[in-house]
Amino acid sequence: WARIPSFSGAKSFIDWGNTGSNQRWSFQIDNSYNNTLELQGSGTLVGWKGDDNSDIVDITNNAWHHIVLTAPSAGNYNSLKLYIDGIEQTSKTILSGSGTDSFSTGSSIDVSLGARGADSPINILADFDEVGLFNVELSASAVTAIYNNGNPLDLSSNSGNYSSSSNLQLYWKFEEGTGLSVNDETAN
Written as one letter, the residue type at 26 is: S
Rounded to 5 degrees, what angle do the CA atoms 26, 85, 22 make?
20
CB count in 10 Å sphere of residue 159: 13
List, for residues 97-118, the tens digit of each pLDDT value: 888 887 766 666 677 776 544 4
Of 174, 18, 35, 36, residue with least CA distance to 104: 18
The parts of the chain modelled with pLDDT lower than 70 are 6-13, 17-24, 30-36, 42-43, 49-58, 104-109, 114-125
For the entire predicted model, the pTM comes to 0.83
* Angle value at C-alpha 20, between 18 and 24, nearest 5 degrees: 50
